[in-house]
Amino acid sequence: MTAASGVIMARAPDDRAGMAASIEEVSFELGGAIGIAVLGSVLTAVYGASLKGSDGAGVSPMVLDSLDEALVAAARLSEAAGETLRAAAFDQAFVAIIAIAAALTFLTACAIGIMKAKGGIRTRPSQGPCVG
């Protein structure tokens, strides 16, 4: 975020710095909200699917919707079964989210590289954000 803010503000003309800052802030907030909504939905879907795929018989249906409920249910099971319930679902969901986030980051870097190579992103000589 700091690097992005520095680049945005360094490239903005002085008379448009306020506009650039507001666009940067709205983009940050909107991106965060969309990211949480999308990745949270994926996390919930993978979590529920992994619980259904594991030996989830005898576990409350509420466990499929809530990690807190899964932790409560795991506490009531034997130690081995409880650890399996805790680890299987959440670990699989977490790995899926990390993989998606890494793939999106890689694709974004590739898109920026392609745009820069084609001249779609112009850069000016580096002056640093504090040099006027």
9-67 residue pLDDT tens: 888 888 888 898 898 899 889 989 999 999 989 988 888 787 776 555 555 677 776 77
Residue recorded with tokens 């820069």: 116
First-to-last alpha carbon distance for the chain, in angstroms, is 22
CB 5 within 8 A of CB 24: yes
Cβ atoms of 46 and 53 within 8 Å: the answer is no
Please, are residues 92 and 47 in contact by the beta-carbon 8 Å criterion? yes
What pTM did the predictor assign? 0.65
CA 78 to chain centre: 34
User: Identity (one letter) of the amino acid at 116?
Assistant: K
Distance separating alpha carbons of residues 76 and 88, to the nearest angstrom? 17
pLDDT digits (tens, 9 = 90+) for 52-108: 765 555 556 777 767 777 778 778 878 887 777 777 667 888 899 999 999 999 999
d(CA 119, CA 80): 58
